[in-house]
C-alpha cells in the first residue's frame, strides 16, 4: 500500500474522512504526539491499528472525540461534576478512563470494562473527527516500542506502506503523550503521567492519587501500556541523575572512553562538551517544555546519526519532571545511573 501524505486543506480533510469511513488508517496530528487513527466503532478497522503498529492486543486504545457531547454514547454514565471539569480541561492533553457503554468494541478496550477518551486540542484534527462521523481510536503512530512520532516525517519513517494516509499538521506542540486519569475509581488516579501534573489536576478534582506502579517498579501498572518497554530508539539509552557537575563529569568520562556516543544535556551544560552534532541541548532545566518537545525527535535524530549509546541528563521526578522521567526510564529500560 502506498502511504499518501496530505497537507492541511479542507478538501483533503474530506478525502481523509472517506478513508476513515471505509475502515482505513490515517495518522493524525495532535498537540501531544501523532496518533494512528481508525473508526473507533468499527472492530475490523481497529484491528488494523494493532497490525500496523505491531501492538500487543492487550493494550487498549484511546478514543478521540471532537466535542464533549460525543462522550455520552461512549460511557455508561458521566458524573455532571466531572463533565463540568472536562469542559474546562478539554480540548487538551488529558485522557480519562470511564466505564464503557455497549457501543465500545472489545478491540478498543482490550476486553476491559472501561474506555479511554480524549478531546485533542488541534482544531484541524477535531474537524476531521467530526467529518468522519465516529470517535477515532488512535494510539501513538509509531511501531510499538519505538519513540512516539511528533512530526509527519517521523510517522512516515515507521508507517510508510503500512497505512493509507498521514495528515501533516506540523510539529506536535507538547511532544509527550496525554496524562491518563482514571475517573472510574475514587479518589481518581493518574495511570500515566503527562502534561497535566498531579498538582494541576488536584485543583480541579480534589484528591488525585498516583498509580503505585509509577513510583515502584515492582507493582503491576493498571494501564496495560505501562508494562511494556517503550519510547526506545535503536541506540541504547542511559540516564544520569544527580548534581549537574558530577553528572556532566561522568558523561564526559564515558564519552571519552567510548566511540559513537550521543549526549543530551540541559543548555547550561552544553558548553562543557566539544562542539558536535551528537551533543544536543534539551533547553532549560527550569522550563521542561523544551525537553518534552524535543525528546522523541532527538532519539530518532540520534538513530539517523548511527549513534550506539545515548547518555541523557535526567530531571527530578516531580511535577512535569515525573512525566518526562516516566518516558526516559522506559526508553532506557530502567538503565538509570545515580551519580553521588
Ligand atoms: P498510546 O498507546 O500511546 O495511545 O497510549 C494509550 C495508553 O492508555 C496506554 O498506556 C493504554 O494502556 C492506556 N489505556 C487505554 N485504555 C485504557 C483503559 N481502559 N484502562 C487503562 N488504561 C488504558
Ligand atoms: Mg504509544
pLDDT of residue 334: 87
pLDDT of residue 113: 97
Q: What does the longest C-alpha to C-alpha distance in the chain come to?
A: 60
Q: Give 172's contacts (C-beta < 8 A, 6+ positions apart).
A: 29, 30, 31, 32, 33, 34, 150, 151, 293
Atom of ligand 1 nearest to the CA of 224: 12
Asked if residue 265 is part of any domain, the answer here is yes
The CB of 192 under 6 Å from ligand 1? The reply is: yes
Q: Which residues pair with 237 in a beta bridge?
A: 310
Asked if residue 80 is part of any domain, the answer here is yes
Atom of ligand 1 nearest to the CA of 138: 4
End of a domain among 153, 184, 215?
A: 215
Measure Cα distances from 107 to 50, 66, 136, 198, 209 in Å. 9, 21, 13, 30, 28
Q: What CATH number does residue 278 fall under?
A: 3.40.50.11030
Q: How confident is the model at residue 215 (pLDDT cuts 50, 70, 90)?
A: confident
pLDDT of residue 219: 86
End of a domain among 151, 181, 215?
A: 215
pLDDT of residue 225: 81
Q: How far apart are CA 192 and CA 189, in angstroms?
A: 9
- Nearest protein CA to atom 9 of ligand 1, as residue: 225
Q: Which residues pair with 189 in a beta bridge?
A: 182, 209
| Percent of residues, the chain, with pLDDT higher than 70 | 100
**Count of domains in the chain?**
2
Asked if residue 226 is part of any domain, the answer here is no
- Do 145 and 185 belong together in one domain? yes
Atom of ligand 1 nearest to the CA of 35: 4
Residues 71-96, mean pLDDT to the nearest whole number: 98
Rg (CA), the chain: 20
Q: What is the pLDDT of residues 224-258, one digit of tens each?
A: 888 777 899 999 999 999 999 999 999 999 999 88
Asked if residue 224 is part of any domain, the answer here is no
pLDDT of residue 169: 97
pLDDT of residue 206: 98
Q: What is the pLDDT of residues 297-307, one digit of tens each?
A: 999 999 999 99
- Do 299 and 194 belong together in one domain? no
Atom of ligand 1 nearest to the CA of 140: 3
Residues 14-26, mean pLDDT to the nearest whole number: 98
- Do 60 and 164 belong together in one domain? yes
- Do 31 and 176 belong together in one domain? yes
The CB of 114 under 6 Å from ligand 1? The reply is: yes
Q: How confident is the model at residue 4 (pLDDT cuts 50, 70, 90)?
A: very high
Q: What is the pLDDT of residues 156-190, one digit of tens each?
A: 999 999 999 999 999 999 999 999 999 999 999 99
- Do 193 and 251 belong together in one domain? no
Q: Which residues surround ligand 2, an ion (CB under 5 A)?
A: 140
End of a domain among 215, 249, 284?
A: 215
pLDDT of residue 253: 96
Average model confidence (pLDDT) for the chain?
A: 96
Q: Please tell me the number of the ligand nearest to residue 192's CA.
A: 1
Q: How confident is the model at residue 9 (pLDDT cuts 50, 70, 90)?
A: confident
Which of these ranges, 67-81, 109-123, 219-233, 240-254, has the smallest mean pLDDT? 219-233
The CB of 147 under 6 Å from ligand 1? The reply is: no
The rounded Å distance from CA 133 to ligand 2 centre is: 24
C-beta separation of 313 from 296 below 8 A? no
Q: How confident is the model at residue 10 (pLDDT cuts 50, 70, 90)?
A: confident
pLDDT of residue 229: 76
**Residue 42 clears pLDDT 90, i.e. is over it:** yes
- Nearest protein CA to atom 2 of ligand 1, as residue: 139
- Do 245 and 196 belong together in one domain? no
- Do 60 and 197 belong together in one domain? yes
pLDDT of residue 144: 95
- Do 283 and 210 belong together in one domain? no
**Residue 275 clears pLDDT 80, i.e. is over it:** yes
Segments forming the whole domain that contains residue 331: 236-339
Asked if residue 143 is part of any domain, the answer here is yes
Written as nine digits, the cell of 70 is: 460525543
| Percent of residues, the chain, with pLDDT higher than 90 | 92
- Do 290 and 243 belong together in one domain? yes
Q: What is the pLDDT of residues 123-145, one digit of tens each?
A: 999 999 999 999 999 999 999 99
- Do 163 and 291 belong together in one domain? no
Asked if residue 229 is part of any domain, the answer here is no
Asked if residue 221 is part of any domain, the answer here is no
Written as nine digits, the cell of 40 is: 473507533
The CB of 191 under 6 Å from ligand 1? The reply is: yes
pLDDT of residue 21: 98
**Residue 259 clears pLDDT 90, i.e. is over it:** no
Q: What CATH number does residue 202 fall under?
A: 3.90.870.10
- Do 198 and 240 belong together in one domain? no
pLDDT of residue 204: 98
The rounded Å distance from CA 187 to ligand 1 centre is: 19
Q: Give 208's contacts (C-beta < 8 A, 6+ positions apart).
A: 181, 187, 188, 189, 190, 198, 201, 202
The CB of 180 under 6 Å from ligand 1? The reply is: yes
Q: What is the DSSP secondary-structure string of 10-69? A: HHHHHHHHHHHHTT--EEE--SSS-EEEEETT-HHHHHHHHHHHT--TTS--EEE-SSGG
Asked if residue 11 is part of any domain, the answer here is yes
- Do 133 and 22 belong together in one domain? yes
Amino acid at each position: 500500500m502506498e502511504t499518501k501524505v496530505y497537507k492541511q486543506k479542507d478538501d483533503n480533510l474530506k478525502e481523509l474522512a472517506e478513508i476513515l469511513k471505509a475502515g482505513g488508517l490515517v495518522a493524525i496530528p495532535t498537540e501531544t504526539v501523532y496518533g494512528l487513527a481508525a473508526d473507533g466503532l468499527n472492530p475490523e478497522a481497529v484491528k488494523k491499528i494493532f497490525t500496523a503498529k505491531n501492538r500487543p492486543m492487550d493494550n487498549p486504545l484511546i478514543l478521540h472525540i471532537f466535542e464533549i457531547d460525543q462522550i455520552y454514547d461512549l460511557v455508561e454514565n458521566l458524573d455532571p461534576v466531572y463533565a463540568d471539569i472536562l469542559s474546562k480541561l478539554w480540548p487538551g492533553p488529558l485522557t480519562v478512563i470511564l466505564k464503557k457503554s455497549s457501543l465500545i468494541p472489545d478491540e478498543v478496550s482490550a476486553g476491559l470494562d472501561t474506555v479511554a477518551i480524549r478531546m485533542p486540542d488541534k482544531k484541524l484534527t477535531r474537524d476531521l473527527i467530526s467529518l468522519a462521523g465516529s470517535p477515532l481510536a488512535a494510539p501513538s503512530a509509531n511501531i510499538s516500542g519505538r519513540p512516539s512520532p511528533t512530526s509527519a516525517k517521523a510517522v512516515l519513517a515507521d508507517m510508510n506502506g503500512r497505512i493509507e494516509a498521514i495528515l501533516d499538521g506540523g510539529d506536535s506542540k507538547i511532544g509527550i503523550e496525554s496524562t491518563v486519569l482514571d475517573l472510574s475509581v475514587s479518589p481518581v488516579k493518574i495511570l500515566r503521567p503527562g502534561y497535566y501534573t498531579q498538582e494541576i489536576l488536584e485543583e480541579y478534582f480534589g484528591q488525585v492519587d498516583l498509580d503505585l506502579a509509577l513510583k515502584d517498579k515492582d507493582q503491576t501498572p493498571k494501564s496495560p501500556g505501562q508494562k511494556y518497554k517503550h519510547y526506545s530508539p535503536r541506540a541504547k539509552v542511559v540516564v544520569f541523575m544527580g548534581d549537574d557537575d558530577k553528572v556532566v563529569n561522568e558523561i564526559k568520562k564515558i564519552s571519552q572512553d567510548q566511540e559513537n556516543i550521543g549526549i543530551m544535556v540541559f543548555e547550561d551544560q552544553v558548553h562543557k562538551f566539544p562542539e558536535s552534532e551528537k551533543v544536543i541541548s534539551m533547553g532549560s532545566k527550569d522550563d521542561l517544555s523544551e525537553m518534552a518537545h524535543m525528546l522523541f525527535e532527538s532519539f530518532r535524530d540520534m538513530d539517523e546519526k548511527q549513534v550506539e549509546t545515548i547518555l541523557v541528563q535526567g530531571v527530578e521526578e516531580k511535577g512535569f519532571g515525573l512525566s518526562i522521567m516516566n518516558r526516559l526510564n522506559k526508553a532506557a529500560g530502567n538503565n538509570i545511573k545515580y551519580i553521588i
